[in-house]
Amino acid sequence: MQLTRPLVLASNSPRRQQLMREMGCTFRVDVRPTDEDFPADMPVADVPSFLARQKVDQFRADLGDQLVLCADTIVVVDTDILNKPSDADEAVAMLRRLSGRAHQVMTGVCLLSAEETVSFTDVATVIFNPLDDYEIRSYVEKYRPFDKAGAYGVQEPIGMIGIQRIEGSFYTVMGLPVHRVYQALRSYELRVNPK
């Protein structure tokens, strides 16, 4: 996907960077410090796109002709948001809570250009098989999922053995709803007729 403007991906996530590369995008990474707090009374479904907009706002003053893409993923079980775990004990507790039940993964995306700000949230439901303590502790010790909401990566062994099914996009769970990002970027795509 060749774009008519330079694209900035405001994410340190190796997974998001990989997905953007696989979609054929050329981009540079620029991550700016952002307050990731949100109002306590905000509906859970609004949180991911709110956080993505907070990130994109850091680029407004010096945007120029660039496109800036930001994303934020949360894991929701019952009505509780499971953020990134602070340590191994918290990661184990999160995975115990997700074991044997369904939860939602919500990824909010915001695309900023000089003309507009487009934001949306994509939701997938993930159903986990029951996980035993050995599986959970082995995964946390080896993969140290402290940079992942809900303490797991869908593409890692705990996802491979633990996830019974996903209702929605696998890539939303991975951290970027590629199908919707592609649609958002299409209006900036340079299309050259193939020979």
Catalytic residue numbers, as ranges: 72
Query: What separation in angstroms does the CA of 101 have from each of 38, 79, 95, 184?
Result: 27, 14, 11, 33
**Structure letter (DSSP) for residue 15:** H
Residues 6+ apart with CB under 8 A from 193: none
Angle at 43 between CA 105 and CA 45, to 5 degrees: 25
